[in-house]
Chain A
Amino acid sequence: MTSKIKKQKQIFSLLNNRFSNLLEANDPGESFSFEKSEAASGISGQNLLINKVYNFYKSIIQNMNSGLIAADLEGDITFVNQTAGNMLGFNREELLQKKIDDLFSNDDESQKCLRLLLLPGKRIDDKEVKFKKKDSTNILVGLNVSSIHDENNNFDGIVMLFRDLTEIRELKLQVERMERLALLGELSAGIAHEIRNPLAGIKASAQILQDGVDNDKLQNQIIDRIVREVDKANRLLKEFFKFAKPTRPNLKFHDIELIIEGVHLLLKSNFQNKNIEFVTEYETGLPKIFVDDTQIEQVIINLFLNGIDAMLEGGKLKIKVFKKELSVLENDPGSLGHPNGKLDFVILQIIDSGRGIEKKNLEKIFNPFYTTKADGLGLGLSICSRLTQENGGKIDVHTEMGNGTTFSLALPAFVHN
């Protein structure tokens, strides 16, 4: 215990030294200027100053809203503030008997955190982890961890700062529930709209037939239209179910060039008819992507067709493919649970030279049933977004009125579930 108290004093002494340097640099800020004159009055004045600074930091650290725990290289807890104790249900003395591994509710999680710290310059920012409370329940915290170095810059331990995320998580869940309800409302309204339109056509046509049509040609025309409207309603429902419940992706490694070239071949006549030039730019040494090739092909077909539709008077559809390392954040859609690590993705950019998307419409384009096309169902991009997520990827859009639109797909080049 004595060594732990010594360690606490060392931490404060470190902080105090930094503060004294600030004073000497004549840049203490107005609120501390009185301390400088006291410091100047000799050794007793210096002690007084040190005590004041010590108490100042102590009161900040003990009263801050976040929990603070420091540990030495053996993992023994050397310092805790009051908030940490309150959050975890222990008193400070009890915590000072523990090792930091004891705090984590999941051993793997604690090992991951500690391993990261062995790498020079590595820190952990805002990672969501669960700590074990005294009553054996868990508490979700946002954890920041950084290393402590001694006066010779040797790694000397770690300091963990954490805040209680229980309330934030509750709020987040509440918002998600509300968003789901809003989406459900939006979807129901969208389906109602898309089904009632063909129904209106079918009913009106049937009533014309009911009233009697003496022209055979017209009668057949009306019957054809009824059949067409039924097919249209059915097509909508099929598309909708594709959106609502896509099949589980069959993930394997695939060559993205082959997928793109396959789609181009399929849509070759669309490019030619609209006088659109197809240009590709592949970075050399691209890794294979770990996706369901049929689903990603569907996404690319949709994005190519959108690009073609955006270029009314011809133009150029440029495809740029390159490798990029991206952070995979936990709790992010499409996330794969890697702790702040960076992983290889293949970025596919589909750049059209069309009219661009108006800013006011941009946030709606991924919503189901949103469309600006006369014959569109408004499900294309929402399906693209859903399928990309299901395949562990991300979709993004950048647009400028008059300067075209770029859709970017980030597709994983690593094994994931």
Chain B
Amino acid sequence: MEDIKRLLIVDDEETLTFSLYQTFINVPVECEVLTASSGEEALARLQEGHFDVVITDIAMPGLNGIDLLSMIKSRTPETKVILITAYGSDEREELAYQKGAEKYIEKPFDLHEIRDLVVNLLS
């Protein structure tokens, strides 16, 4: 039997986290969806187990998304990381890809687009 895929959503914006959670618990791929409201909470979750995909916001109080991406890539390089941000800039996008982000998406984004992307990565 194939392992259940695991997805982690990290954002201090509660409504967006809730919407993403509702979306991914209903995708046609068997996956476990967990959420974290800060970079530090995400790190704790990552220490407890492996994740296939992490969607993380960049600007969060405390540990930010870019630093979280670096930490994930140094521990489990195979984990795909999608960065979402309300504070877009070309420099940030370049930095995100340099650090190994799978995709850099600016808010507000199309829910279907991010859903299809994640389903594709999990399949």
Contact = CB atoms under 8 A, between A and B. Distances in A.
A208 B61 contact: no
A207 interface: yes
B117 to A, nearest CB: 14
11 contacts: A193-B87, A196-B86, A200-B108, A203-B108, A204-B16, A204-B19, A205-B15, A207-B110, A208-B111, A222-B19, A373-B61
Given A192-B87, A203-B111, A197 B23 contact: no
> What 10 A-B pairs have minimum CB-CB distances, sorted nearest first?
A201-B15, A204-B19, A200-B107, A196-B86, A200-B108, A207-B111, A203-B108, A199-B108, A193-B87, A201-B16
B111 A197 contact: no
A198 B14 CA distance: 10
Interface string A229-243: 100000000000000
B18 interface: yes
Interface in A182-204: 189, 192-194, 196-204
A201 B110 contact: no
A374 interface: yes
A360 to B, nearest CB: 14
B40 to A, nearest CB: 11
A226 B59 CA distance: 21
A371 interface: yes
A371 B15 contact: no
B87 A218 contact: no
Given A189-B87, A225-B15, A374-B38, A204 B61 contact: no
Interface string A199-226: 1111111011000000000100010011
Contacts, number: 76
B75 interface: no
B37 interface: yes
A197 B13 contact: yes
Given A371-B61, A372-B61, A374-B37, A196 B19 contact: no
A198 B37 CA distance: 15
A98 interface: no
Interface string B5-25: 000000011111011101100
Nearest to B12: A374
A11 to B, nearest CB: 62
A194 B23 CA distance: 23
Most central of B19, B106, B109 by chain A CB within 10 Å: B19
B112 A207 contact: yes
B87 A202 contact: no
Given A371-B61, A373-B61, A229 B15 contact: yes
Interface of A: 189, 192-194, 196-205, 207-208, 218, 222, 225-226, 228-229, 371-374
B61 A193 contact: no
B86 A193 contact: yes
Contacts of B38: 374
Contacts of A196: 86-87, 106-108
A207 B61 CA distance: 28
Contacts of A207: 19, 110-112
B20 to A, nearest CB: 7
Most central of B13, B15, B62 by chain A CB within 10 Å: B15
A222 B14 CA distance: 12
A197 B86 contact: yes
Contacts of A218: 22
Contacts of B110: 203, 207
Given A196-B86, A204-B20, A374-B60, 11 more contacts: A198-B13, A198-B15, A200-B13, A200-B86, A200-B107, A200-B109, A201-B14, A201-B15, A208-B111, A371-B61, A374-B12
A37 B109 CA distance: 88
Contacts of B12: 374
A335 to B, nearest CB: 36
Contact of B16 (A197, A228, A373): A197
Contact of A204 (B62, B87, B108): B108
Interface in B42-79: 59-62
A251 to B, nearest CB: 37
Contacts of A203: 108-111
Contacts of B60: 374
Nearest to B62: A372
Nearest to A204: B19
